[in-house]
Amino acid sequence: MRFQSVVVVNVDGSLVQHPLTCLGSFDREEEGWRRNNDWVWRRDGEEDEEIIWMMCEEEKKKGNSFLVNLEERTGGGIFTCHSLDRTLLKKTTVLVKHLDEQKRILEGSTRTGYMKCSTRNYQGEFHCSWKFTPTRVGTVMFVKVARGLSDTENISCSVDASGQQWTCSSSSGQSDIMCSVNSSGLGVSCVDRQYCPYAEETDRITLTIYMRTNYLLEEYSQRFYLSEIVKPDNVYIKEVNSSTIEWSYPVSWNRPISYFPLSFQVKEIEGRKCKNGCTCDSPYTEVHTTESSQWSVKAKVTVCVRAQDALCDSPWSDWTEHRSVPHSLVYCIQENLSSGTPSCSM
C-alpha cells in the first residue's frame, strides 16, 4: 500500500460532495494525472480504468477519482483504491464533522459547556473531564491545546506511539503543553511546561478535543486561565483543645502561603438536625468567611471548613467535616479502654 489518510469534511445539513484521488490530482492545463513525479497522460475528462474504488469490499467505480456524497451525518467511511489485480494502493478514511448542537456525543450545552476543567494548585497541571450521553460513546481522535488565541493558528501537535499522549508547541515557543488521554477515555491530564506560578497569566489556555464515533467527528473547546479553575484540596482539621480547632493549608497548595493565600468558609451545623452533613443548608446552619485558620467550637455543633484562592473568584474546595466529641465522653472512653468496663452512655 502506498499510504493511508484521514479526511475531515464539514457538513452543515445540505449535500456536500468531496472528491478523492487515488494516485494524484488531475491538472487540466497539462491534461494528465500526476503520479508521484511522473505524468500519466489522459485526454480531458478521461478516467483511469486500471484503478478500482471499493467501500466495504464492494466495488464502487473505476478511475483515479471518486466523489463522496455527504449529507447530515451520513456518507463517511473507509474508501480504498486498488489496481486491477486488487493490490491496495491507498486507504482513505472520510469523517463527517456535522455542526449540530442538538445532537452531541457529550453531555452538556453551549451555555454550560461540555468539559469540566480544574487544577488543585498553581504548578501548571490541569485536568479536564467529560461524560458521554447514554446512547453514544466515542474516542478521542485529536487533541489541540495552546495558550493565547494567536498561537492556536500556529500550533504543531504530535502524538506518541500509544496514541494517548499529545504534545502541542507553538512556532513562537511561547506555548508548550502536553496532554495525556486518561485510560477511561473520559478526560485528559495536561501540564503547561512554560507556566510560571509567580507570573500573571496574560493569555488563556484553549483546549480542543476532537471526538470520534463511527465516522462522525465532533469538536469541543474550553478556554480558561488556571486562576479561573483552581480548586484547592481539602484542608486538614485538628483539635487544639476542647474548645478550639485549627486547620492547615492543603499539602498540594503552593508555598509560600503569604504569596498564595487562601480564604476559608466555616459552616456550623447545630446538633444532628441535618442528615446531609456539610452539604446541608437549612435554618440550623451558619456560614462564616475568615482568613484565620483557627475557630472556637461550640458544644453539639458540627463544623465544616473549605478553602478558596483568596485572590480569585475560583471554585471552593470540598468541605472537611469536624464533629466535636464532648470532653466527658472522651474521658469516659479512655477510662473504659483502661478498665475494660462497658462503653459509656450519655
Report the distance separating Cα 281 and Cα 29, nearest Å: 76
What CA–CA distance (Å, rounded) separates 312 from 283? 29
Burial of 55 (0-12, 13-18, 19+ CB in 10 A): middle
What tens digit of pLDDT does each residue of 126-151 get? 999 999 999 888 999 999 999 986 65
Give the residues of the chain that fall short of pLDDT 50: 26-46, 329-334, 337, 346
Q: What is the predicted pLDDT for the residue at 341?
A: 55
d(CA 188, CA 211): 12
Question: What is the C-alpha to C-alpha distance for residues 192 and 248, in angstroms, rounded to an integer?
Answer: 28
Whole-angstrom distance, CA of residue 345 vs CA of residue 59:
84
Q: What is the pLDDT of residue 31?
A: 44
* Nearest Cα to Cα of residue 205 among 151, 122, 143, 146: 146
pLDDT at 340: 57
Residue 312 contacts residue 259 (beta carbons within 8 Å): no
d(CA 241, CA 27): 87
pTM of the model as a whole: 0.80
pLDDT of residue 71: 79
| 17 and 69 Cβ atoms separated by less than 8 Å | yes
CB atoms within 10 A of CB 19: 10
User: What is the number of other CB atoms lying within 10 angstroms of the CB of residue 247?
Assistant: 23
Alpha-carbon distance of 259 to 273, in angstroms, equals 39
Angle at 320 between CA 316 and CA 325, to 5 degrees: 155
Instruction: Write the CB contacts of 300 (distance below 8 Å, at least 6 apart in sequence).
Output: 270, 271, 324, 326
**Pairing status of strand 301-309 against strand 125-129:** unpaired
